[in-house]
Structure 1
Amino acid sequence: MVIPVHDVNPARRTPWVTYALIVANVVVFLSMPGMAGSVAGDSGLAQLCHLQVYLDQYAVVPRELIHHQMPRLVPTGDIALGPQGPGCVVGPPGYDKSPELSVLTAMFLHGSWLHLLGNMLFLLIFGNNIEDRMGHVRFTLFYAACGYAASYGFAFLNDDSSEPLIGASGAIAGILGAYLVLYPKARVWVLVPFLIFLPLRLPAWLVLGFWFALQAVYSSGEGVSNAGTVAYAAHIVGFLAGMLLAWPLKRGTPPPPEPRGLLFGRRARPRQAW
């Protein structure tokens, strides 16, 4: 796995929507029950019960989205002592939920600091150029469209699942797909774990193509132990949706600047004129 840290592809305008999305994701994460103190491991049973209530209301549930089968009993946030010890009390939902709107709200929810920071890193590195090419309004619509495509694609493949689906990964995967179409030759600085983190500058087509290939492998359950907890299929659908939506813009997209200086961690030699 490679970790991107910077791309050599300056934007012409300030990516206000990208910055706003990052701020919104962080604020929503900090407002989720128990998430602000998750680094210190401060997550008692009461917080877990309240978090479950929060996710039931705002996360995407494939069964609800595809079949509109709303649950009759959900956690209420209260705790009761049962035969096997304390647990979350269940009861009728105390809220009205729109499965279609939950796709939008779920795009701002994350399950951990690692989940949040990983998504925001990819959004910061690759989102600014896509917003620069599309403009603020079209980029906002593009981001939402990729998120919806990813959620619906995953839900159709798992239509009987009642597990909540959260995260901005599907929408951000769409940004990666668009970047691959529009800027395949742009150089991306990455860290490659090889005894130490080795810095390399690689073409975007290699970095993003490798990322997509990993998602395809992981979605099949190969090479990863927690394949059931990560919606890799949503990443794939979002990526393909981003490629499709960005394709009409490919012809009019100016190429990224030719990088100079360091190449693969070493200073490149100047070219000789013939």
Structure 2
Amino acid sequence: MRPFLLPLQLLAVLWAVHLLNGMLLDGRLLQLGVQPSRSPFWHVFSAPLIHGSTDHLLANSLPFVLLGSLVLTRGRQHFWRVTLVGAICSGLGIWFFAPAFSQGYLSRHVGASGVIFGYLGDLLLLGWFERRAASVLLSLITAIAFGNMVFGVLPAEPDVSWQGHLFGFLGGVLAAWISTRSLPPDH
């Protein structure tokens, strides 16, 4: 249970925000999502905490905990690095590259999937960057268990933020690369 504790605690925060938004705020927190080319920078940090529906949060819950727990096996500092770099890259990718309008409406992107794809990118490429048996094994396990998620970085459905997925994934790759560059020489 211990390796799952931090991701479960963060998931509890996501659910608390969702319940607060739905029960007390009448969905007003959705305004804190990332609007391409329009939002203030800090919405990059608020958007992953907010979900558009209960189904949206349910779909993100299990991958968030499982992939987050695998990232956490590399240590808390690594976990927070991947979480923050994934969120920032996802949000900035949306801000710069997502269309301002989708299906005739002003688009606003919310949800933790950019962070989740950051976890995926980190886990898949960490073995390549480190070239250590344990890291390669972790990358292989991730590829077998979650490899089909990679297709989420492609444009498929109009109401899914594939840009957030793609740039979150790239953020995870960047975090993996940064982590391997900050290892001590004998690691």
Same fold, TM-score > 0.5, yes or no:
yes
SS of the residue corresponding to residue 73 of structure 2 reads helix
Contact (CA 8 Å) 2:85, 2:175: kept in 1 or not?
A: no
Count how many residue pairs are aligned between Structure 1 and Structure 2.
170
1:64 to 23, 29, 38: 38
Are positions 1:26 and 2:15 aligned together? Answer: yes
Q: Which has the higher helix share?
A: 2
Q: What's the % identity of the aligned pairs?
A: 27
Which one-letter code corresponds to 2:53 in the other structure? S
Q: Which runs of 4+ in 1 moved over 6 A?
A: none
1:54 to 22, 29, 36: 29
Which one-letter code corresponds to 2:87 in the other structure? G
Contact (CA 8 Å) 2:78, 2:179: kept in 1 or not?
A: no
Q: TM-score, normalised by structure 1?
A: 0.54
Are positions 1:215 and 2:152 aligned together? Answer: yes
Deviations 1:144-202 (A, max 9, x none): 22111011112211253432110000011100111112355449xxxxxxxxxxxxxx9
Query: What runs of 5+ residues in structure 1 fail to find an aligned partner?
Result: 1-10, 36-46, 66-98, 188-201, 222-226, 253-274
Q: Which has the higher strand share?
A: 1
Where in structure 2 are the equivalents of 1:237-252 lying within 5 Å?
237-247=167-177, 249=179
Contact (CA 8 Å) 1:18, 1:124: kept in 2 or not?
A: yes
Contact (CA 8 Å) 2:123, 2:138: kept in 1 or not?
A: no
Q: Structure 1 residues 19, 236: CA separation in 2 closer, same or farther (over 3 Å shift)? A: same
Are positions 1:154 and 2:90 aligned together? Answer: no
Query: Larger C-alpha radius of gyration, 1 or 2?
Result: 1
Q: TM-score, normalised by structure 2?
A: 0.77
Q: Residue 122 of structure 1 aligns with which residue?
A: 63
Where in structure 2 are the equivalents of 1:75-224 lying within 5 Å?
99-133=40-74, 135-158=75-98, 160-161=100-101, 162-182=106-126, 183=135, 185-186=137-138, 203-212=141-150, 214-217=151-154, 219=155, 221=156
Q: Structure 1 residues 22, 216: CA separation in 2 closer, same or farther (over 3 Å shift)? A: closer
Q: Structure 1 residues 148, 137: CA separation in 2 closer, same or farther (over 3 Å shift)? A: same
Q: 1:248 deviation in Å?
A: 5.1
Query: What runs of 5+ residues in structure 2 fail to find an aligned partner?
Result: 127-134
Q: Structure 1 residues 63, 23: CA separation in 2 closer, same or farther (over 3 Å shift)? A: same
